[in-house]
Structure 1
Amino acid sequence: MSFSIQVPDRSDPWYTKRGAVHVPAGEGLTKWMVGDVYTVKLTAAQTNGSLSFIDASVPAGAGPVAHSHADSDEAFYVISGELEFLDGDRTFIGRAGDLVFIPRGHRHRFKNVGVHPARMLFLFTPGGPEGAFVEGGEDPRPGEQPGLWGPERLTRMVELANRYGSEMLPDDDL
């Protein structure tokens, strides 16, 4: 069996159009938030709104408060460690290799319940909520570790979360 493949006209935009976004290892915008380290690898602006992508390092005992996203779904892929996920009114443990998908409008959070930092990748689709990280996170300071935030910083984060389509919710059992 044989078939021929027509060689495209190399000036045809289908053949020449470029649009990939390449973020090399170790690059991206890194921010500290509530003790966690987040590196924003892709923003909604870079993907024409399609998605945003974040690399996270979550120290033992750390993680965000319960919240929901009105207009974005969120997916998490655990690379290392153990994270307790809240899904509505239940919790479960995510371990290395686990993927967790949270539909928009659902109450959720994650918390590192291990003794070592956990690492995960997560994305929003469509993108947008990462704006709260970019605008509200602290710039890393060489030679220091991120610290926990006091009430004044958390109040600012509630304002930013609301601006970027997220709502902070009670963290305890309903």
Structure 2
Amino acid sequence: MTSLSATPVQSRAAPATVHLLGTLVTFRALAADTEGAFSLVEALTAPGQGTPPHLQRDDAEAFYVLEGEFEFMLAGTTARSGPGAFHYVPRGVPHGFRNPGDVPARMLIINLPGGLHENFFREAGDPVADGSVFPPMTAPDIPRLVAAAGRYGIEMLPPA
């Protein structure tokens, strides 16, 4: 009989959240929790907000929509997706997303392997105390965003 073991992960009473480009990113499972296999975040995106086109050279990304609607830009195509939709984006594939609705939309984002995007979110985003309340929108710090992206294998692309 094969024996399986699991590493218990301590629950986080108050998981860390950062605000980046109109999205509240709450860290649910860190690379340290998964032996580096993946990172899991919950993303709450304000109406009209999202990420510009980009690609990741060193990690793949998967999206699972929980609430609301997202418009995904995937390798030159656009898809509107509601609750239950799943999109997998391999390394090197241009993509982005935005919330086209008039209410916040929520999804889970998995990055494989873990750590790269997790660190990018921490460097490029601004910490917030409450992961359910959007801070006032201000102009993004583009130089900081681009510098952090470059450190973690993310290439920002021109709008499609």
Closer, same or farther: CA 18–78 of 1 in aligned 2, 3 Å: closer
Q: Is the 8 A contact 2:24 2:134 kept in 1?
A: no
Aligned letter for 2:80? I
Q: Among residues 40, 45, 69, which one is paired with 2:32 in the alignment?
A: 45
Which 4+ runs in 1 deviate beyond 6 A? none
What is the TM-score normalised by the length of structure 1? 0.81
Aligned letter for 1:111? R
Q: CA RMSD in A?
A: 2.3
Which region of structure 1 is more displaced relative to structure 2, 130-139 or 89-98?
130-139
Which is strand-richer, 1 or 2? 2
Task: Number of aligned residue pairs: give it.
Answer: 158
What is the TM-score normalised by the length of structure 2? 0.88
The Cα shift of 1:50 comes to: 0.5
Larger gyration radius, structure 1 or structure 2: 1
3-state DSSP class of the match of 1:84?
strand
Gaps of 5+ in 2: none
Identity of aligned residues (%): 35
Q: Among residues 65, 83, 89, which one is paired with 1:102 in the alignment?
A: 89
* Cα distance in 2, alignment partners of residues 32 and 130 from structure 1: 13
3-state DSSP class of the match of 2:123?
helix
The Cα shift of 1:83 comes to: 0.4
Gaps of 5+ in 1: 1-5, 7-13
The Cα shift of 1:116 comes to: 0.7
Aligned letter for 2:104? P
Quote the residue 1:30 is aligned against: 17
Q: Among residues 69, 74, 79, which one is paired with 1:92 in the alignment?
A: 79
Q: Cα deviations across residues 14-59 of structure 1 (Å, max 9, x unaligned)?
A: 57x55122435x6421111112101011222332210000001001
| Structure 2 residue 137 is matched with structure 1 residue 148 | yes
